[in-house]
Amino acid sequence: MRILLAEDEKELSRVLVTAMRSQGYDVVPVYNGSEAVDKADHGVYDLMIFDIMMPVMTGIEALKKIRSTGDQTYVIMLTAMSEIDDKVTGLDAGADDYITKPFSLKELLARLRSLERRSEDYTNDVLKFGDITLDSNEQRLESFNSISLSAKETKLLNLFILNANKKIDSDILIDHAWDNDDDIDRDTLWIYISYLRQKLQSVNAHVEIYGEKGGPYQLINTNGGDSNDSEVSL
Amino acid sequence: MMEIYGEFKPYLSQIKDDVMKKLAVLNQQEIEKNKNKLYEHLIGRVKTEDSMVEKCQRKGFPLSPEGALRECKDAIGIRIVCNFIDDVYRSIDLLKHADWCEVVKEKDYITRSKPNGYRSYHLILKVDTPYPYIDGNTSGCYFVEVQLRTIAMDSWASLEHEMKYKHSIENPEQIGKELKRCADQLASCDVQMQTIRQLIHEND
């Protein structure tokens, strides 16, 4: 699991990073909200953990900015025990959960394990982006029409939607959709990207995957508003 | 039995055969240009007079050649069954540019399938013929309905047809849901085959 941690208290950050890395997580630490927004814009994470009170830009402001770009990554806020308003503001700004400070490392690591189980068992059931809906349980893509997806296509599209508008490298896509032991190269990924492109087109979606063979690839909402009626009387 | 087609009945199956021959010519021309064949097979039928009477009654059209051949536009029907989705659109394009017919109506149920999962592309053609028509013209224009679809869409439609006309199904809702899921999977295969074909010919 790849985690973005934004915590301005250097000592706390160091402890958290060490603890999470010791469990095998890939952690990227930043020290204010603005850096968090920047990292989130350019990278793909499975989880983001933000402190609220930070210099330059608060965790709440950073979260709002990140959500406004279409990013739907799971976010946990670190809030002070006494500040009920912080929890409410955080959740309303688009956070998925919060942990109150001071917290024990044991609790944090248990939450990460819980989250990991959940995302392995059920990737988000139904995701929407632009005029498309992805039902991951049913492996179905819907827009003005519907079509089945393979397991890999579903995983790829799931990641694309959670990280809409970001340029995502081939290697990250391969890591997410295929097990490590599969022998997958960029050419194979290109075939799956091609399937997804044609399927998006076949359901009449105003959503496209940009990018040349080899990547990076980017999910874009191209909605121009015209609904392209299917019945034409000449 | 009512003879709703009247004196025009004998022309209908001749027109059906003539149009099928013209489609075969279009196919031959494509093959001569070293392109893939347009379609896998063609089938044609003239709607039985009983069905036509029933349809005209249902739609409130006159029970006459006027109702059957002008108000209804599917007395003559031809189905073009293709290997790949691209072939469907190539066929439509050729029909739109053919000098012996005019496309007067089209419905694209491939881009927007019906809620039950039905996929097909329907065209109504107005075809020049050497036969008399109800308007008194000795070389009249007849309507022909053309349905274009892939083999997968065609098999699905046969299955759905079986369900529709079997009234004693125990769990029609569940079967309907499974049919819809199957339609989405077939569409997925059609798109997948189409994509692979394009990848093969990427550098042509």
Same domain, B55 and B97: yes
Which residue range is the domain that position B163 belongs to? 157-200
Q: What is the pTM of this model?
A: 0.74
* Dist CA A40 CA A52 (whole Å): 16
Chain B positions in Cβ-Cβ contact with residue A232 (cut-off 8 Å): 105-108
Q: Taking 80 as the threshold, does the pLDDT of residue A180 lie above it? A: no
> A76 with A46: CB under 8 angstroms?
no
Average pLDDT over residues A169-193: 85
| A41 and A93, same domain (yes or no) | yes
* Same domain as B36, residue B98: yes
Range of the domain at A110: 2-121
- CB contact (8 A) between residue B191 and residue A147: yes
Residue B47 lies in a domain: yes
**Among A157, A190, A209, A234, which would you mutate to test the B interface (most chain B Cβ atoms within 10 Å of its Cβ)?**
A234
pLDDT in tens, A132-169: 999 988 899 999 899 999 999 999 999 999 899 999 99
- Residues A15, A96 share a domain: yes
Confidence of residue A34 (pLDDT cuts 50, 70, 90): very high
Give a yes or no: residue A232 inside a domain: no
Instruction: Tell me how many domains chain A contains.
Output: 2
Identify whether residues A19 and A85 lie together within a single domain: yes
Same domain, A114 and A8: yes
Q: Is residue A68 situated within a structural domain?
A: yes
Please check whether residue B82 is in contact with residue B26, taking contact to mean a CB–CB distance below 8 angstroms: no
- Answer yes or no: do A154 and A97 share one domain: no
Number of domains chain B contains: 2
Report the DSSP beta bridge partners of residue B102.
B126
Res. A54: pLDDT tops 70: yes
The Cα diameter of chain B in Å comes to 60
* Nearest-Cα residue of chain A relative to residue B196: A191
Q: Which residues in chain A touch residue B108, judged by CB atoms under 8 angstroms apart?
A: 230-232
A12 and A95 belong to one structural domain: yes
Mean pLDDT computed over every residue of chain A: 88
Q: Which pLDDT band holds residue B1 (cuts at 50, 70, 90)?
A: low
In a domain, A233, yes or no: no
Does residue B1 lie in a domain region?
no
**Taken in order B172, B176, B182, B183, is the CA torsion positive or negative?**
positive
What is the pLDDT at residue A181? 62
Residue B113 has pLDDT above 60, yes or no: yes
